[in-house]
Amino acid sequence: MQVLIDFCDPHGGGSTLRCAFDAPLQTLVAQTLAEVKPLLDQVSALSQQGFWCVGYLRYEAAPAFDAALAVHQADGPLAWFGVYPQALPWPDETSAQETTQVSWRNTLSRADFEAHMAHIHQAIAAGEFYQVNYTAPLTGEFTGSPLELFSRLQRAQPQGYAAYFDTGLEQLLSVSPELFFDWQPGADRHSGQILTRPMKGTAPRGNSPAEDAALAQAMQASPKERAENVMIVDLLRNDLSRIAEPFSVKVPELFKVQTLPTVFQMVSDVTAHTRPGIRLTDVFTALFPCGSITGAPKVQAMRTLQTLEPEPRGVYCGTIGVVRPGGHATFNVAIRTVTLRGPAARCGIGSGITFDASAAAEWQEWQHKRAFLDRASTGFELLETLRLERGEFINLIAHLARLKRAARHFGYVFDENSIQAALQALRAEVDTDHNVWRVRLLLAANGQVQAEKFIHNQLLAPVLIAQAATPFEATKSEFTRFKTTRRAHYEAFAPTNPEVFDTLLYNVQGELTECTRGNIALKLDGQWLTPALHCGLLDGVGREMALQQGRLREAVIRLEDLPRVQAVAFVNSLRGWVQARLITPITS
């Protein structure tokens, strides 16, 4: 029954809790609602005796604390805790298993989603509640190593409240970025300290630092996002008041932006001094489930959720946490949480719905939130394609800088000495006086480097580039912003006609972006232009060099501008500047 806990310090210090637990002295399991509170009392007593207690509560445990909270029948234990004499060091990383993968699919159709959104809007208009956190599960088929999948999920969603549980019945892989509560009970007759940090408000990451800053600022200033956040802050303030010293509930941080690899999230801090004598059971009675994943008012929101969501949520939207010796308790809100049972995988996705929320925007938000799953679903390597000519790697500094940015983004190990050694070893194998070589430089998550060489064949210019027949919808993907071996979204647009060299892509707004294997340059009104990064494209090294030399200028170029194009060039670091001719879409 292996358990891993990797919790950041909720107070921003350096006391990260990153440890393992194995072979529990005993396991505490609640199968019925009547057993939940006594189990938490056992956890409290055992922690006071010097034991570590690590476990979870399913969302369906809610009626144990308030019978008015409506849920479905649970599909597993309502609560589970392992009791351990000590915390062990984090285990050594195992080698990556490339066979580990999950193929995810929606269980909710777009039509049903929109119908449920309409129902929620009607209920809000009727005054039943003012926000509800609607969710639906993604299901998938899993193969490989649960620990490898957990490692990938952590890289996709780092610096949160991550936990891995193998209880025998199931494996729980949680990489939640949301703190439920951090509570340090008071000794004897002293007050305790509690911090909650509800997360409400989401925006996608941009295609450039400037767009990132604009998106984060727009989310923080959005009346809708702020209203959604403050509704839950008010709910948490009310919940905390049930266990707090009079006048001690405070909101020291409001509308703070938290930056994650695939999204921005808005969080607020709500704190209080808990009254002397408050027990862990009292904290859960006041707070569980967290209002950020129910809505407000909580009772009516959960009644509506029970009618709209046909299945139990399980540990998703429940909580996972640890009670240290002495009673210090830290629990997450179990979002971004995958449950594995044999080959069956499950992960919920949801969002807070208010009166001014639109179905289209919320659906898109769900796609942004699942990006961490898409990243972790299969393994991939970071990729750079270099030109090796007469013993020299062309634009090597720029390539390594881009590779380093990608490694930082994806959480991959980047050791420049190892990379340089692999490149020099490859260069020693080739005849530096003849031939131009195409070199594929691959970087794995653990920092392993592989360099491959191929004889480079020159092109006969001009090459033919066909305009795509449909929009390229992956412009907001991190696998478009960064170069990796995951290229299915590009390969879907690769030309099938052997006479065509590449395809010119454009986004759903009708803005040109790039080709599938390089960037594009177009001469308009006497100036050479290339699409701006915020349109959704890779920052190619050849493009970067041309911009630095003043040969190119960034601009937004639209489909309707194409009739005015005076000349076209394909641009990348491998091939340089290649004269091209643009033609209408070819489908055969």
On whether the CB atoms of residues 544 and 401 are closer than 8 A, the answer is no
CB atoms within 10 A of CB 277: 11
Q: For residues 456 and 437, give the distance between their C-alpha atoms in angstroms, rounded to a whole number.
A: 5
**120-171 pLDDT, tens digit each:** 999 999 999 999 999 999 999 999 999 999 999 999 888 899 999 998 889 9
**441-482 pLDDT, tens digit each:** 999 999 999 999 998 988 888 999 999 999 999 888 899 999
DSSP category for residue 63: G
Which pLDDT does position 588 carry in this prediction? 42
Tell me the pTM.
Answer: 0.87
On whether the CB atoms of residues 353 and 293 are closer than 8 A, the answer is no
Which pLDDT does position 585 carry in this prediction? 72
Which pLDDT does position 95 carry in this prediction? 62
To the nearest 10°, report the CA torsion of 29, 31, 37, 41: -20
On whether the CB atoms of residues 306 and 151 are closer than 8 A, the answer is no
**188-245 pLDDT, tens digit each:** 778 899 999 999 888 888 877 888 899 999 999 988 889 889 989 999 999 999 999 9
Mean local confidence (pLDDT), 548-552: 96
Residue from 262, 260, 300 nearest 479 by CA: 262
Task: Estimate the crossing angle of helix 223-241 against helix 209-221, to 10 degrees.
Answer: 60
Q: Residue 185: is the preceding peptide bond cis (ω within 30°)?
A: no
CATH architecture of 3-91+100-193+272-376: 4-Layer Sandwich (3.60)
On whether the CB atoms of residues 474 and 489 are closer than 8 A, the answer is yes
CB atoms within 10 A of CB 499: 10
Residue type, 376: A
* Helix, coil or strand: residue 81: strand
**95-99, 145-149, 373-377: which range is least confident on average?**
95-99
In the chain, where are the structural domains located? 3-91+100-193+272-376, 382-455, 463-583
80 φ, ψ (degrees, to nearest 5)? -145, 130
Q: For residues 157 and 173, give the distance between their C-alpha atoms in angstroms, rounded to a whole number.
A: 12
On whether the CB atoms of residues 399 and 441 are closer than 8 A, the answer is yes
Mean pLDDT, the chain, rounded, equals: 93
Q: For residues 335 and 348, give the distance between their C-alpha atoms in angstroms, rounded to a whole number.
A: 7
Here the tokens at position 4 are 């891993």
Within 13 Å, how many C-alpha atoms sit on residue 284's CB side? 29
The CATH T-level fold of domain 382-455 is D-amino Acid Aminotransferase; Chain A, domain 1 (3.30.470)
Looking at the annotation, which residues are catalytic? 178, 200
Which pLDDT does position 527 carry in this prediction? 97
Backbone Cα Rg of the chain: 27
CATH number for domain 463-583, candidates 3.30.428.10, 3.10.580.10, 3.90.1490.10, 3.20.10.10: 3.20.10.10
**CA distances to 142, 348, 373 from 343, in Å:** 5, 17, 16
Q: For residues 117 and 308, give the distance between their C-alpha atoms in angstroms, rounded to a whole number.
A: 10
DSSP category for residue 22: -
**265-296 pLDDT, tens digit each:** 999 999 999 999 999 999 999 999 999 999 99
Here the tokens at position 13 are 């210090």
* Helix, coil or strand: residue 498: coil
**32-41, 120-129, 578-587: which range is least confident on average?**
578-587
On whether the CB atoms of residues 353 and 73 are closer than 8 A, the answer is no
